[in-house]
Chains A and B, each alone.
Chain A
């Protein structure tokens, strides 16, 4: 018998699937950071008035879908992290890392609607005068989502390097 086995009354939501959920969460984040970065790299062409509409639309859609997927997988994993990682370890030994995680989760929520909005309008704005003001808004959204995704992926790696689920 494993002397360190976690008793049944300390099992959190989907405790038995925590490792699988973490791998899926990380895999979705890999696709997300790639698509968010490639999407952002389309923005200089967009600002020059020569957008690559097809690429922009594809990347924006991939960002929206993988953002929602990464967010949902993280939400499923969160109760296990909250007790077994944060409450039992990080709060005691590395409180700054606990705080870093909470910053990461709230930033993820703040950027969720922005990512979904990008998926809905990505590649659909034209070079017309009517769309010019909106293009700057769209570029701002792309930069914000990419910044949040990069921050969250890097901080996620830092947190996991201290203690994982």
Chain B
């Protein structure tokens, strides 16, 4: 397997696994690290109360899963038997197409879910000045 194809395959596998985890973690409400911006603290939870952000944790979990899968694919592709399978014409393209489908599912899910979301305004603190 050519080095460029091996690197490409690793990124395509990473993208595919990232896409699955990024979607599943939101749909399945996986426990992820939440950041509380006013308390400057983290909490591993499925859901929290108060002002907190799950974007860091959800992104980190999906990116780490993608990086691990991509690294594994890169390493496995070095083995002769795996290299023969991966080098078959159409294999890398098939992984790419799966990843592209997953990516579009992520895009559609997040755009639709967030565009139709109803937000609840937080209480205004006493020091707040309208500007």
Contacts and interface: CB of A to CB of B under 8 A. Distances in A.
A105 B55 contact: yes
Interface string A113-128: 1101100110011000
Given A13-B40, A103-B115, A87 B18 contact: no
Contacts, number: 124
A17 B99 CA distance: 38
B51 interface: yes
Interface residues of B, number: 50
Interface in B32-57: 35, 37-38, 40, 51, 53, 55-56
Contacts of B4: 121, 124-125
Interface residues of A, number: 45
A99 B110 CA distance: 10
Given A79-B35, A113-B63, A117-B11, 18 more contacts: A10-B127, A13-B37, A79-B53, A80-B37, A99-B114, A99-B119, A103-B110, A107-B107, A107-B111, A110-B19, A110-B103, A110-B106, A113-B66, A117-B8, A117-B15, A120-B11, A125-B8, A134-B8
